[in-house]
Structure 1
Amino acid sequence: MHYSEKESRRFGFNIYRDMCDHVDEKAILKTILENDVDIFILRVLSRNEAELSKLDNIGVPYIFGDTLCCYTIDLQKYDHKPLKNDLEFERCIEENKADLISMAEVVFGQYINHYTSNPYLSNETSVESFKQWTSEYVVDEPDADDKVISWLVKRDGKSIGFATCDYNFITGKGEGVLYGVLPDASGNGVYSDIIRFTQKFLKDLGIKDMKVSSQSHNFGVQKVWSREGYFMNKAYTTVHLNAFLSASVTPKEEIDFKVSESMVQSFADLTGDTNRLHMDTEFAKSKGFDGTIVHGLIANTMLSKYFGTVNPGHGTLFLGHSTKYIKPVYLEKPYKLIIGFPVIKSNGFRKSVAKLVDSDGNICAFMYNDLMKRD
């Protein structure tokens, strides 16, 4: 599990990632809480995707992103096939980088992927992400064991496509990362020729294994890969956990509070919840707590007051909410509610995320609230 600096910069959120065989929900929650993660991108082997139900224990909303199909080929056993078309492959450097980026914008303009599946990530930013990703393979003088390279694919002197690869001499592994053919130039085996060219290029360098990957719905390229000797060896299911623990469109608000014994008694009188964990110190201690614990919903009532009278204010409706409790809240101890609004729409809809923290900064609970302000 690691911080994704590039994606965080591109999308303006605190983004973490993990690609794994099994779902470790406790480790994911720990990472989210300790790093105030906004979006956690999880890829788990599709054969174990039933384990995604464990994410329900985390308390963070999540959505399905895509299924990534991974193919590989043993280049040592690969017999190069001749190209079908008269194509020129021009090494992409800073001088012709703009041509590469402009084609990437066209090729990936309507491309569906896990970014576009997340309603909180704009399609425009997704396209910019692919443009930036493509440009990272433009290097004038690669000089490390771990190398990247890109080409402009030309026919009759006109750029009609591109290819980007990386490879490592130490591991003997390479990857065809991003390929593209302009719509008006597709067909007649052009994409197959690009695949064949990159296969031969890496094999001639002594690279032993090469991989490619794409979303499951991208049938066309997978057919080509199969014809060109690749076989699918893995598939990953992608989900986004939209935690939004650090993002906020507006400055965050903080509310300091303590819960008194009289507040607990009033809440018990109002709701009829006289659970002895809230009312009887010795009983609570016998169950492993330091003393009586506060009703969990008392913090939510403080949020209700804030939303209804302060921000957004009078006329605000609660559309829905969920709360994940992590640590108990005790009487007469200082706590703080930290309230942010990662989503504010012009129609009055707002999504709020609130954290309940103790005096040591530990998160005791976090709450998701969907609101509508009627003007």
Structure 2
Amino acid sequence: MPSPLETARFGRTVERLTVTADSPARLDDVREAILASTAEVLVLRYPAEHVTWYAGLTGLGRTALFADALVYWHLVAGRGRPPEPSPDLGTRPISGAVEVEDLVDAIFSGYANHYAANPLFTAAQATAGYREWALRSAEEGHCLALHDPGTQALLGLATLDEDGPATEILLAGVVPSAQGRGLYGHLLKGVEDRALARGATRVLISTQAHNVRVQRAWSRYGFEPVRTVLTVHLLR
């Protein structure tokens, strides 16, 4: 599938190919799709249980770069273990472009995702991708901020996909100056409450496998791991 936003951001044609957990696709099908693609960069994602696939991605006229392992966790909505409520913390929708961009830059600058594995892409371009992603969520009304009601200081951000029966957290984090104080759980509580209010049955979230710290926070809150997805960049 063509990715026009990434193509514009990186100045190279980018396509995405995703094999879901319930897809009947075989490695031969994936190889055929790769051979048919004319994109300079093809971002392939597939379930980690297909451990033999990576070796089969060679010999196709492309350089295969292992980019990351993405770990998905889920929470049954209503079964979270949130921290004690605090009068100094709350969550609210946020849509202002400047506020969203400032939060993204503070929270996610320097965070290494699959783009960092590709020498064709720069760290600045990757951060720009976070901004685009967050701004799109904010424009669609799917962005939540953690704030101090007294000072109105913005302390955290969560961007959401709320189109289906599950609420998926796309980005979530707390600003560096507020980290280490147990505030992340309050942000998760705000997301869970919002999911319950719209009738969602579960909350999904994912991160790179190396991000062990945040996975510990998810486990404490009540999330459980459900699957791992591998990302490979195939370069012409």
Q: Does the pair score TM above 0.5? A: yes
Name the CA distance, whole Å, in 1 between partners of 2:152 and 2:144: 14
Equivalent residue of 2:138, what SS? Answer: coil
Note if contact 2:116-2:126 (Cα within 8 Å) is conserved in structure 1.
Answer: yes
User: Does the Cα contact within 8 Å between 2:106 and 2:175 map onto a contact in 1?
Assistant: yes
Alignment of 1:177-326 (within 5 A): 177-243=170-236
| Offset at residue 59 of structure 1 (A) | 2.9
Distance, in Å, in 2 between the alignment partners of 1:49 and 1:7 is 27
How far residue 47 of structure 1 moved from its aligned partner, in angstroms, is: 1.9
Task: Return the alpha-carbon distance in structure 2 between the equivalents of residues 24 and 37 of structure 1.
Answer: 21
- What SS does the corresponding residue of 1:69 show, helix, strand or coil? strand
Whole-Å Cα distance in 1 between the matches of residues 221 and 30 of structure 2? Answer: 38
How far is 1:239 from its partner? 0.8
Aligned pairs, how many?
231
Q: Kindly indicate whether the alpha-carbon contact (under 8 Å) linking 1:25 and 1:58 is maintained by their aligned counterparts in 2.
A: no
Identity %: 23
Structure 1: gaps spanning 5 or more residues: 143-147, 244-375
Tell me, in whole angstroms, the C-alpha distance in 1 between the residues paired with 2:49 and 2:168: 23
Alpha-carbon distance in structure 1 between the residues aligned to 2:235 and 2:173:
30
Q: CA RMSD in A?
A: 2.1
Letter of the 1:10 partner, please give it: R
Query: In the aligned structure 2, how far is the partner of 1:154 from the partner of 1:30?
Result: 49
**Which deviates more from structure 2 when the two are superposed, residues 17-26 or residues 208-217?**
17-26
Q: CA deviation at 1:235?
A: 0.3
TM-score normalised according to structure 2 size: 0.89
Structure with the greater alpha carbon radius of gyration: 1
Deviations 1:268-289 (A, max 9, x none): xxxxxxxxxxxxxxxxxxxxxx
Match of residue 99 from structure 1: 99
- How far apart are 1:88 and its partner, in Å? 2.8
User: Match for residue 282 of structure 1?
Assistant: none
Higher alpha-carbon deviation: 16-25 or 233-242: 16-25
Q: How far 1:79 sits from its partner (Å)?
A: 6.8
Higher relative contact order (CA 8 A, sep 6+): 2
CA distance change for structure 1 residues 177 and 107 in 2, over 3 Å: closer, same or farther? same
Aligned equivalents of 2:170, 2:218: Cα separation in 1: 13
Q: Which runs of 5+ in 2 are unaligned?
A: none
